[in-house]
Amino acid sequence: MFIKNENSEFTPFKECISACYELANSLLFTQNKRSWSPFGVVLALEDEAATFVNFNDNVLDSIKLLKGKNEMSNDKLSDLYKKFKEIKSAVYKRTIIYITNDDDPVRGDKTQRFAALNEAKNFEASDINFQMVTMNDNFDYKMFYNELYSVMKVPLVETIVEDEEGLLEKLSSLILVRYYQRRLNFFPFLNDQSRFIKVIQKKFIQEEKLYNNAHITTSGKSVKKISKNVGDAPKTFVLKYNNEHLEFDVEENFDLKNNDLPIGYTLIHVSDRVTEVGFVLTNSSILEIDHKEDLKFFDSFWQYCVDKKKVLVCVRKMKNLDKIRFVEFIPKFANNTRMFIIKPIPFISEIKYPPSKLDIKKEDTACDYSQEKVQVTNSLIDALTFDYHSKMFINPSFAKKKAFLRSKFLDEPVEEVEDVTLDSEGIDSRLGEVTDKFKVLFNLCEESGKKRKTASTAAKSKRKK
């Protein structure tokens, strides 16, 4: 772990520290009620202080500590940390990621080998999920770890990461972030609301948000909430349609929205897939059976849908006077769990196709293009093609807010945010002469955009101040 790779200036140990720091850093703005770290890092000193980042540590403290270690040199880290020591705290008995490049940790010592294998037998009883990760392409599992996994009675999974980015991806996949969960009832029996199945709806896709939830002013005074006084005027509801509108009072609004459906999901019928791939209204959610449910009806519905390749079409009602929505339950099996993907079914008015900007004539489709045109088109495609990563495009305004809050949390200078998105000039410089040649061959001329008319002096004087 302290020998540099050929393609990197850092040692694998240094890259591990950097990956742990990036992982802790990414948890700073996660929507979670807990402030303590969801992971621990265990290294070894020459004394008994083996804990490096504890589960009980605050996330901010973990980030500060890992940042300091990440700024150390390869030699400094090599002098401080040498080997892995015993973990005595029961708080670590969850998932252990053992990162090593040493394929023979016992060095042929039969006594150490027996002790290590004997300790591994207790992992299952102690509820320890042991996973090993290496950054060595020539790692030989036959030296020790084949027998170790055989003793633990779990299959050996060879996990090799090349660098810090690969290790960060591996570690990030094991961190459980907060997700939305709600207990509901599923009513599958026709005209019978007395019988239902207890289910849990989960949503794992959340938009990152920064809430303005300050309770005090900059002067230190508490914020006072002031509510408006409701007048005696009757409340009305307006339904707009094109250039017309209809008004309803409170009772009429209640009669229109009210229905006798229970809160939850009500089965309408079983059918083939309703929505096609690409029909997306909102982020899909997952429906699982509640662990408090004793009846096996959920499994029976799931198995029927799998065997017959069907889906369950249901009506969703989340609260009283709520707009009902038709959804389909698509059976899936993941993490050894039977579940349904809940996908909203769009109404016909919600299905919109973008108007085509190309008017292709029939005779144009049969044209034979010259080899020169084909080559310049391929060159244009190659110039516009790049390897995509989600970190390549950011929202500069949102990133600046995060940088400011981060500086306040960690007591450090505000980090300058760089806008990495390509502007028009950057794209033009990247394409070079390819676009000019493409325009000439295909007889394309640039159209000047419409200019916004400048308001006259008379028009400005008529505006309300």
User: Quick one: which of 444, 443, 445, 441 has its CA closest to 375?
Assistant: 441
**87-91, 268-272, 317-321: least confident range:** 87-91
User: Quick one: which of 27, 50, 49 has its CA closest to 37?
Assistant: 27
Copy the structure tokens of residue 337: 């769990």
Measured from the Cβ of residue 39, the count of other Cβ atoms closer than 10 Å reads: 19
Residue 132: pLDDT band (50, 70, 90) is confident
Specify the DSSP class assigned to residue 216.
B
**Of residues 69 and 465, more confidently modeled:** 69
pLDDT digits (tens, 9 = 90+) for 399-412: 888 888 888 878 88
**36-50, 258-272, 285-299: least confident range:** 36-50
Residue 454: pLDDT band (50, 70, 90) is very low
pLDDT digits (tens, 9 = 90+) for 144-176: 888 888 888 777 777 777 777 778 777 777 776
The CA distance from 287 to 201, in Å, is: 5
Whether 82 has a pLDDT exceeding 80, the answer reads no
**183-187, 226-230, 381-385: least confident range:** 226-230
pLDDT value of residue 267: 94
Architecture of domain 180-206+235-350: Beta Barrel (2.40)
Whether 448 has a pLDDT exceeding 70, the answer reads no
**Of residues 215 and 125, more confidently modeled:** 125
User: Quick one: which of 81, 60, 64, 95 has its CA closest to 16?
Assistant: 81
Copy the structure tokens of residue 98: 């053992």
**75-79, 267-271, 278-282, 283-287: least confident range:** 75-79
Measured from the Cβ of residue 105, the count of other Cβ atoms closer than 10 Å reads: 17
Fold observed for domain 12-172: Rossmann fold (3.40.50)
Residue 86: pLDDT band (50, 70, 90) is very low
The CA distance from 358 to 364, in Å, is: 12
Across the chain, mean pLDDT equals 76
**Separation in Å, CA 410 to CA 32, 36, 37, 115:** 18, 15, 15, 43
pLDDT value of residue 162: 72
**Residue range 66-84: average pLDDT?**
68
Residue 45: pLDDT band (50, 70, 90) is very low
Residue 271: pLDDT band (50, 70, 90) is very high
The CA distance from 15 to 62, in Å, is: 17
**Separation in Å, CA 294 to CA 189, 194, 297:** 17, 16, 9
Task: Report domain extents, the chain.
Answer: 12-172, 180-206+235-350, 367-384+393-441
The CA distance from 209 to 108, in Å, is: 54
286 with 204: CB under 8 angstroms? yes
Q: 272-281 — which CB contacts under 8 Å span 24+ positions?
A: 272/309, 272/310, 272/311, 273/311, 273/328, 273/330, 274/311, 274/313, 274/328, 274/345, 275/328, 275/343, 275/345, 275/346, 279/346, 279/351, 281/344, 281/346, 281/350
The CATH number, out of the four listed (2.40.50.140, 3.40.50.300, 1.20.1740.10, 1.10.1600.10), of the domain defined by the range 367-384+393-441: 1.10.1600.10
The CA distance from 74 to 177, in Å, is: 32
Q: 163-167 — which CB contacts under 8 Å span 24+ positions?
A: 163/5, 163/8, 163/15, 163/135, 164/10, 164/15, 164/16, 164/18, 164/19, 164/22, 165/19, 167/15, 167/16, 167/19, 167/99, 167/133, 167/135
Residue 361: pLDDT band (50, 70, 90) is low
**Of residues 65 and 196, more confidently modeled:** 196
Handedness of CA 210, 55, 390, 7 (dihedral sign): positive
Give residue 285's identity as a one-letter amino acid code. Answer: S
Residues in a beta bridge with 264: 317
**49-58, 145-154, 299-308, 372-381: least confident range:** 49-58
pLDDT value of residue 200: 94
276 with 332: CB under 8 angstroms? no
